[in-house]
Structure 1
């Protein structure tokens, strides 16, 4: 892979903004994210991590309608947003991998006080994390998915509205 032409990338980004970023945007056809679903290799370990360490309450556990014996379970992320998981007993899904079209990371907004507390809880639980800009903590969940706790308001990035 050769050197990256940053000027060309910025020029293309600006072109795309001009073509697609409408000054007066129509309302979205969507009502919001119902849930984001990830995979779990161990239901109890996942519950202990997301509810026990990150303080996201478990809201429900049901059988996955698409795969008998699989558990579909949900955590409350606030504002009506849910984080869901599936386990697939008997299937060898292999380890987590970041691939094109796959999950890069899941960014979850928390207030600054909660951010400080959860950073401590991650450290107490022995979870390796990377802190960026005093507002982001990146870490991996027990199955390797990358998660970010972000001390920014919903719809903001670097203090700027991205809605």
Structure 2
């Protein structure tokens, strides 16, 4: 019974960490491009205007709603792997969860530099061709004034998910290695 309680608490903590990561991550990317949120994500998420005034409230809501589920996946995956095997401790699982967080954060930082180098006005891109997101979003994007900052924020935003997935794989590998070492 104690293992199930610990598992439940681990999953809840994973969800909270992931959600707060999303909130902080979005606050940073909002500073890079407010248009990415105002003209794209607010429209995509269909946030009512009262959630976007002030804009950073809407940014936080989107950050939480876009990442809490990743914490659920991480918590269930890392928490249940070999749960009945006593060679893995709760501490081992927290180390693996820390690996996920650090990897996602590292991916975001690395991607920031890559996106900053990639999306420069001096490169003289002729036309920005965004995929069609639907008429409402497409119309909203027509009001964009800084597509370079928009693309930087979008690149960072998307790479964070990749960092989370890779971090989860590394965390699973850490637990597997620890299990093999202790067996």
Name the TM-score class by shorter chain.
Answer: under 0.3
TM-score under structure 2 normalisation? 0.22
Bigger relative contact order, structure 1 or 2 (CA pairs below 8 A, ≥6 apart): 2
Structure richer in helix, relative to its length: 2
Structure richer in strand, relative to its length: 1
TM-score under structure 1 normalisation? 0.24
